[in-house]
């Protein structure tokens, strides 16, 4: 008989934490990575532009931003220039302009670490024209913090 509720698939066994990490294609990102300190530099003062083309081939479809030198290169699904940049320069951490995930070539894994959050926030801002809700809150807090009244 169709229309009955699913039986035996009660999904309440493992409560999700309030801040469950975003899942990328079912892969849970690592939170620690030995390459973060050496391969993540502060965002350029001019900010980020999520529509920047690949610096090598000019493709705009699916690009990665190097978090060390802030050059933009296309994914392996296009011409593989991000991989080539990593092989040539040894810069391990990249941020996807497609889904704002961070990838470490050396770890061969997605990374979710606070060190990369400001770059993600800047990319989100460029992509959507506004801050992501949670980032906006923390930015407002730190702005109030820094903006000491005089
Ligand atoms: Zn790593
Ligand atoms: Zn390219
Ligand atoms: Zn680089």
Ligand nearest to the CA of 59: 2
pLDDT in tens, 26-73: 678 999 999 999 999 999 999 999 999 999 999 999 999 999 999 999
pLDDT of residue 130: 82
Ligand nearest to the CA of 61: 2
Ligand nearest to the CA of 85: 3
Ligand nearest to the CA of 91: 3
Q: How far is the CA of 146 from the centre of ligand 3 (A)?
A: 31
Q: How many helices (H) and strands (E) does the chain have?
A: 4, 5
Q: How far is the CA of 76 from the centre of ligand 1 (A)?
A: 19
pLDDT of residue 132: 74
Q: Is the pLDDT assigned to residue 17 strictly greater than 80?
A: no
Pairing assessment for the beta strands 72-74 and 63-66 based on DSSP bridges: antiparallel
pLDDT of residue 21: 52
pLDDT in tens, 95-125: 999 999 999 999 999 999 999 999 999 999 9
**pTM flag (> 0.85):** no
Q: How far is the CA of 18 from the centre of ligand 2 (A)?
A: 38
Q: How far is the CA of 16 from the centre of ligand 2 (A)?
A: 39
Ligand nearest to the CA of 75: 2
CATH of domain 36-142: 3.30.40.10
Identify the bridge partners of residue 63 per DSSP, sorted by sequence position.
Answer: 74
Q: How far is the CA of 144 from the centre of ligand 3 (A)?
A: 33
Q: How far is the CA of 49 from the centre of ligand 3 (A)?
A: 16
Residue 68 token pair:
């060390």
Pairing assessment for the beta strands 93-96 and 72-74 based on DSSP bridges: unpaired
Read off φ and ψ for residue 15, nearest 5 degrees: -65, 135
């Amino acid at each position: 008989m169709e229309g009955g509720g699913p039986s035996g698939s009660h999904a309440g066994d493992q409560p999700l934490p309030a801040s469950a990490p975003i899942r990328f294609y079912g892969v849970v990102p690592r939170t620690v990575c030995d390459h973060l300190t050496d391969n993540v530099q502060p965002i350029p003062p001019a900010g980020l532009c999520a529509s920047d083309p690949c610096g090598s081939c000019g493709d705009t479809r699916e690009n990665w931003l190097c978090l060390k030198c802030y050059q933009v290169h296309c994914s392996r699904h296009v011409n593989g220039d991000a991989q080539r940049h990593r092989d040539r320069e040894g810069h391990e951490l990249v941020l996807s302009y497609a889904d704002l995930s961070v990838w470490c070539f050396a770890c061969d894994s997605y990374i979710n670490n606070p060190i990369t959050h400001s770059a993600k926030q800047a990319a989100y801002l460029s992509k959507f024209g506004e801050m992501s809700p949670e980032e906006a809150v923390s930015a407002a807090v730190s702005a109030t913090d820094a903006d000491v009244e005089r």
